[in-house]
């Protein structure tokens, strides 16, 4: 049976059933919710629908001209009738037969055509007297996406527009079931409040969503009793965007762990809670040993992969009493609250060391990093997060100093030492401003003739109260505090001026100047050196730049390019403290090096180290390099160097480092010692 014949049979059946209603003066019709067709109508309906006959009206397919809002509203009615066939709804509807608006106040109710067929019985009264504003308001309520609801003060729904009805599973859902925030529900039950605005979570057919609501107290136009009219706008997407932005502000984008911002706020709250309960906890600072080596040798992508892996491993330890964060770089933080005792805490530290130290494969190479861990207990060593972070950081450096891959506790002594360092940094800054640093020079001497052939520029600090301070007492701190660059440029300038002046006196010797790894890593190092050279009319061919083996460890193109540029400018390159770092034949061939300086530790134990010295000298000859032995203090050491064919030496045997004037006098006398 076709749809048309089926509908015709149902229309005939309805005509028999409802023939008495045909004489009613107000329009009545039965609407087929499944097929969007009118199944039966009385004569009065023809005027509303502007139809010439019942046959024509019943043949109309109305779905094509139906707006989305009307279609959704009809589906809502169908769902409500399915749950409760006694339900009735009254609304102003504007139909558009032949494109002309006809407004009817319609009462909708269910009409069961058969056990399997539920239709909608519609009774309407044309309301031509209704003002335009009322009609438009009714249409707006029907089509708007804003949820408009009217509830009694007890929470029963009195009216829902289509948007509001679409958000709830049942038309009879109470206000108390709609809003999840119980405080908001209590406010709506408060007779003293007339208006409430809030962004709150609500129950909907799509689960929990967020709505921006405005509730105003009013009166029900039917009963005259107090009621709440509530408008709601779905802001779930905006809320999700806001929450995502908040997540990004408080979490590390690489590892997804909480970041420093999160730590400052929420770690402090957790600490306060532990302290209020009269308990204790610990803040653990974790730094990865040798992470820079991985970054330099394998690249930053591999370094990032390593950080993600370490973060995941730390997460695997996480318990309800742990909180883990990444501060930046290779630094992680763990808050333990509360702790059950020192043994419990140390077991946690051992687990951290164990999981972090497991090797990882990066770019086909097996890599291992280990953690250095600092621990600050609270309330013993502080109660504020930033204070505890500083203390844990100090303890972490203590762990590094004692061999790495270990943990250390913060103590008062560490705090006192840190304060001394801070005071010393302040003094160093002042010393740079007031020119308290002076460049000294130690002779470099030809092993065969014992004649001065060069000098190494070494800095000394003329402290106003402590006297002459050796570089071992302040160079490391200058590197840590970022002062090494300015200090290094000062020494380079003094070396340029000294070499120029001595050359003018007939002593055209070469002077070597140390570059710290931090200074060498500066982007504009070469330009800065050339500017100083030009300003003081120096000769780069008489300047040797000493770098440590660690500078060459990364084997990166930037290092190669920088060294070649320095050599192209006329400088020579020497490897300082050779043999103590990462001695490798490859970089002797790859980099433009002209000199190896044997570390003083080998010279000091020459009896046992002579094979090493002989090997270094042989390597130097192989690569056409000259060799300088540092720290020569005895004639026996000098004689051994002669036998090994080492070219130059420097040390206390010939002269301690001395100031410019004393070194000038030494050159003038052509001072040498007997063989």
| Per-residue three-class SS string for 518-541 | HHHCCCCHHHHHHHHHHHCCCCHH
* Rounded-to-integer distance, Cα 107 and Cα 110, Å: 10
Q: Name 215's bridge partners.
A: 196, 230
pLDDT in tens, 319-337: 778 899 999 889 999 999 8
Question: Does 263 fall in a domain?
Answer: yes
Q: pLDDT exceeding 70 applies to what percent of the chain? A: 94
The pLDDT of residue 206 is 82
Query: What pLDDT was estimated at residue 333?
Result: 95
> In the chain, what percentage of residues exceed pLDDT 90?
39
| CATH number of the domain that residue 489 is part of | 3.20.20.450
CA dihedral (657, 659, 664, 665) in degrees, to 10, reads -80
Query: Which is more confidently placed, 264 or 165?
Result: 264
> Is 571's pLDDT higher than 60?
yes
What is the overall mean pLDDT for the chain?
86
Give domain status of residue 417, yes or no. no
Q: Are residues 173 and 298 in the same domain?
A: no
Computed over its alpha carbons, how large is the radius of gyration of the chain?
Answer: 44
Q: Which of 410, 436, 456 is the last residue of a domain?
A: 410
Instruction: Using pLDDT thresholds of 50, 70 and 90, give the confidence band for residue 405.
Output: confident
Examine the domain organization and report whether 26 and 49 are in the same domain: yes
Do residues 362 and 263 share a domain?
yes
Q: How far apart are CA 389 and CA 382, in angstroms?
A: 10
- Residue 663 has a CB neighbour count (10 Å cut-off) of 22
Same domain as 468, residue 388: no
Q: Do the beta carbons of residue 307 and residue 425 sit within 8 Å? A: no
Say what the pLDDT of residue 343 is.
85
Instruction: For residues 164 and 281, state if they share a domain.
Output: no
Residue with tokens 């061999």: 403
566 shares its domain with 448 = yes
Rounded CA-CA distance 153/393 in Å is: 59
pLDDT of residue 672: 45
pLDDT of residue 554: 58
Tell whether 293 is covered by a domain.
yes
pLDDT over 50 at 674, yes or no: no
**80 Cβ neighbours under 8 A, 6+ residues apart:** 87, 89, 171
pLDDT at 140: 61
Residue 326's domain is classified under what CATH number?
3.30.70.270
Same domain assignment for residues 403 and 434: no
Of 68, 103, 138, the domain-final residue: 138
Contact 575, 595 (CB under 8 A): yes
State the sign of the Cα–Cα–Cα–Cα dihedral 383, 385, 390, 393: positive
- For residue 36, is pLDDT > 80? yes
pLDDT exceeds 70 at position 580: no
Whether residue 299 sits in one domain with residue 258: yes
The answer to the question of residue 470 being in a domain is: yes
| Closest C-alpha among 410, 408, 378, 404 to residue 391 | 410
- The total of structural domains in the chain comes to 4
* Reported confidence tier of residue 126, pLDDT bands at 50, 70, 90: low
Whole-angstrom Cα distance, residue 460 to residue 487? 11
**566 within a domain of the structure (yes/no):** yes
Residue 552: pLDDT above 50? yes
Among 197, 217, 240, where does a domain finish?
240
Is pLDDT at 129 greater than 70 in this prediction? no
155: left (phi over 0), alpha (psi -120 to 50) or beta: left
> pLDDT value at position 130?
56
In a domain, 39, yes or no: yes
Domain of residue 78, residue span: 3-138
- Taking only the tens place, the pLDDT of each residue in 6-28 is 777 777 778 777 777 777 778 99
Query: How high is the pLDDT of residue 143?
Result: 63
- 156 and 259 in a single domain? The answer is no
Tell me whether residue 245 is in a domain.
no
Q: Specify whether 226 is located in the same domain as 346.
A: no
Give 215-225 pLDDT, tens digit per residue: 888 877 678 78
Name residue, tokens 């048309």: 4
pLDDT value, residue 497: 96
- CA 315 vs CA 253, 255, 336: distances in Å: 16, 10, 13
CATH number at residue 177: 3.30.450.20
Q: Is residue 143 part of a domain?
A: no
Same domain, residue pair 441 and 555: yes
Q: Kindly report the three-state secondary structure assignment for every residue of 286-326.
A: EEEECHHHHHHHHCHHHHHHHHHHHHHHHHHCCCCCEEEEE
> Which tokens belong to 591?
């980099």
Asked if 441 and 312 sit in the same domain, the reply is no
């Amino acid at each position: 049976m076709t749809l048309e014949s089926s509908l015709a049979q149902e229309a005939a059946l309805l005509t028999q059933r409802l023939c008495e209603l045909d004489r009613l003066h107000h329009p009545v019709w039965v609407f087929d919710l499944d097929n969007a067709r009118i199944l039966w109508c009385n004569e009065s309906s023809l005027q509303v629908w502007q139809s010439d006959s019942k046959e024509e009206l019943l043949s109309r397919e109305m779905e094509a001209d139906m707006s989305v809002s009307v279609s959704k509203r009809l589906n809502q009615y169908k769902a409500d009738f399915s749950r409760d066939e006694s339900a009735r709804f009254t609304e102003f509807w504007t139909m558009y037969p032949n494109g002309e608006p006809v407004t009817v106040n319609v009462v909708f109710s269910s009409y069961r055509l058969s056990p399997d067929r539920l239709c909608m019985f519609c009774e309407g009264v044309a309301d031509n007297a209704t003002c335009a504003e009322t009609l438009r308001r009714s249409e707006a309520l029907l089509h708007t996406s804003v949820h408009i609801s009217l509830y009694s003060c007890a929470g029963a729904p009195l009216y829902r527009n289509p948007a509001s009805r679409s958000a709830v599973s049942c038309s009879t859902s109470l206000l108390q079931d709609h809003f999840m925030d119980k405080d908001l529900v209590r406010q709506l039950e408060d007779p003293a409040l007339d208006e409430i605005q809030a962004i709150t979570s609500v129950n909907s057919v799509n689960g929990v969503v967020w709505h921006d609501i405005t509730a105003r107290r009013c009166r029900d136009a039917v009963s005259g009793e107090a009621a709440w009219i509530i408008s709601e706008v779905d802001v779930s997407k905006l809320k999700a965007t806001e929450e995502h932005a908040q997540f990004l502000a408080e979490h590390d984008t690489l590892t997804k762990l909480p970041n420093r911002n999160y730590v400052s706020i929420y770690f402090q709250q957790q600490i306060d809670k532990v302290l209020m309960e009269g308990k204790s906890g610990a803040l653990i600072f974790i730094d990865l040993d040798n992470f820079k080596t991985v970054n330099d040798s394998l690249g930053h992508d591999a370094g990032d992969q390593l950080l993600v892996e370490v973060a995941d491993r730390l997460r695997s330890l996480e318990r309800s009493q742990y909180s883990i964060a990444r501060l930046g770089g290779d630094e992680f933080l763990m808050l333990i609250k509360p702790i059950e005792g020192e043994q419990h805490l140390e077991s946690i530290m051992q687990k951290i060391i164990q999981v972090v130290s497991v090797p990882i494969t990066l770019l086909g190479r097996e890599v291992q990093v280990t953690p250095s861990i600092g621990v600050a207990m609270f309330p013993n060593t502080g109660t504020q997060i930033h204070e505890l972070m500083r203390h844990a950081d100090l303890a972490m450096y203590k762990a590094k100093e004692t061999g790495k891959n270990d943990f250390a506790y913060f103590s008062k002594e560490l705090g006192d030492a840190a304060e001394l360092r801070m005071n010393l940094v302040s003094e160093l800054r002042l010393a740079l401003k007031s020119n308290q640093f002076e460049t000294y020079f130690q002779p470099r001497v030809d092993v065969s003739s014992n004649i001065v052939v060069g000098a190494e520029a070494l800095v000394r600090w003329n402290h106003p109260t402590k006297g002459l301070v050796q570089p071992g007492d302040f160079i490391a701190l200058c590197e840590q505090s970022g002062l090494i660059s300015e200090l290094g440029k000062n020494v380079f300038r003094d070396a340029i001026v000294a070499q120029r002046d001595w050359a003018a006196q007939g002593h055209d010797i070469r002077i070597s100047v140390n570059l710290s790894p931090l200074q060498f890593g500066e982007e504009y190092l070469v330009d800065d050196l050339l500017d100083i050279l030009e300003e003081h009319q120096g000769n780069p061919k008489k300047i040797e730049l000493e770098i440590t083996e660690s500078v060459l460890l990364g084997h990166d193109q930037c290092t190669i390019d920088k060294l070649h540029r320095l050599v192209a400018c006329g400088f020579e390159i020497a490897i300082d403290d050779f043999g103590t770092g990462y001695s490798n034949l490859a970089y002797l061939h790859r980099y433009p090096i002209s000199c190896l300086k044997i570390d003083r530790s080998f010279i000091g134990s020459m009896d046992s180290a002579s094979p090493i010295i002989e090997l270094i000298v042989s390597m130097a000859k192989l690569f056409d390099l000259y060799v300088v032995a540092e720290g020569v203090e005895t004639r026996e050491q000098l004689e051994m160097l002669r036998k090994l064919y080492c070219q130059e030496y420097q040390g206390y045997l010939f002269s301690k480092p001395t100031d410019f004037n004393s070194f000038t006098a030494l050159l003038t006398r052509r001072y040498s010692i007997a063989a």
